[in-house]
Amino acid sequence: MWFAGPARRAPLAGRPQALRLGFDLKRGMKVGLYGGSFNPAHDGHAHVAETARRKLGLDRVIWLVSPQNPLKSRHETADLEERVAGAKALAHGYAMVVAAVETHLGSNYTIDTIRGLKARFPGVKFVWIMGADSLASFHRWRGWTQIMHEVPVAVISRPWISLKSRFSPAAIRFARFRRSPQSGPRLAYAKTPAWTFLFGRFNFQSSSALRARRKG
């Protein structure tokens, strides 16, 4: 049984592979980190990434395609190469970058990936991006409270789950650190913990629905 809890610190940035991430970031940039399985990637993912880029004033959004989400079944997860290709087909524009960063860093959990990227790119202002569906289960992630203290977090509204996610264990625990949507362009500079909930038009596509359709 896998349980959420604190994550140990891992010296990921010292790995030789960490120097070959496939992209470069400059000091002072505001960069969104958008993690997920993207199994498969769809327009809803692109909507979340673009909403975050626009409302947070980000220079880049990096789609972090996870080799394997510990909370999801391996036999239902497509090959990493296939999922990376699917994300690249939707991540339009120079501001969108798709990379299998966890493979290069050797990290198993989001907290390790964030710490590795912060060590690799000092001076870059990172923000973690997630859809409201991820906030609803965020308390199950390894080191979730540590993530909130490492980087500001932006949550993007998603159909059906937005109201439930706003009363999730993570939202309740960090309620006093929530910032208004209008503070979005300044979120990257905020003292952590800091998070905001951003609203946009709903996109109703989901990976689970697409997988079910393929099986049918």
Over 60: is that where the pLDDT of 26 sits? yes
Q: 204 pLDDT band (50/70/90 cuts)?
A: very low
For residue 92, the model assigns a pLDDT of 93
- pLDDT computed for residue 108 by the predictor: 84
Q: Average the pLDDT over 23-46 and give the result.
A: 94
Looking at the chain, the whole-number percentage of residues with pLDDT higher than 70 is: 77
pLDDT given at position 178: 97
Helices 80-90 and 43-56, axial angle in degrees (round to 10): 60
pTM over the 0.95 mark? no
Cβ atoms 148, 195 nearer than 8 A: yes
pLDDT reported for residue 188:
98
More confident of the two residues 135 and 200: 135
- Does the structure show a pLDDT above 50 at 50? yes
**Mean pLDDT for all residues in the chain:** 84
Task: Name the residue ranges covered by the structural domains of the chain.
Answer: 28-202+210-215
Q: Which has the minimum average pLDDT: 4-8, 26-30, 211-215?
A: 211-215
Which fold does the domain 28-202+210-215 belong to in CATH? Answer: Rossmann fold (3.40.50)
Residue 44 amino acid letter: G
Per-residue pLDDT, 6:
64
pLDDT of residue 199: 85
Res. 72 pLDDT band, cuts 50 70 90: low
Greater model confidence, 74 or 40: 40
Phi and psi at 57, nearest 5°, equal 65, 45
What pLDDT does 170 receive?
A: 96
Q: Which pLDDT does position 73 carry in this prediction?
A: 57
Average pLDDT, stretch 56-74? 83
* Mean pLDDT, residues 139-145 taken together: 96
Model confidence pLDDT, tens digit, residues 82-111: 999 999 999 999 999 999 999 888 888 999
